[in-house]
Amino acid sequence: MMAPLDSRVQWLFHLTKHRDTREQREEHVRLLELIEAGDGDGAAGLYRAHIAAGLEPTLAVADTWERFDPVDVTRTRTRR
């Protein structure tokens, strides 16, 4: 049941591999801290900023690739 979602998450990580992993980790840690503190508004705001920061550069990289089915690629573990 989770396989299609897992495939898409793996594809997303592949798309965002060019981003600074240290910065991403710090954002994820801060998100967890806000969630644990019960600050839903703060977590939602940081989540939106986190997604927005990666969206444009990720889509720019993705536009340079040939079109393929991300589920098929992750299923075979063959990267194009």
The per-residue pLDDT string of the chain (80 residues; one tens digit each, 9 = 90 and over) reads 677 777 777 777 777 777 788 888 898 999 999 999 999 999 999 999 988 887 887 777 777 777 767 677 666 655 44
Measured distance CA(47)–CA(53) in Å, rounded: 10
Q: If we measure between CA atoms, which residue out of 14, 18, 16 comes closest to residue 73?
A: 14
b or e along 64-76 (b: 16 or more beta carbons within 10 Å of the residue's beta carbon)? eeeeeebbebbee
DSSP-derived letter for residue 65 is S
pLDDT for position 54: 79
Q: How far is CA 31 from the centre of its chain?
A: 14
Is residue 15 a contact partner of residue 51, using CB atoms and an 8 Å limit?
no
pLDDT for position 31: 94
**pTM to 2 decimal places:** 0.57
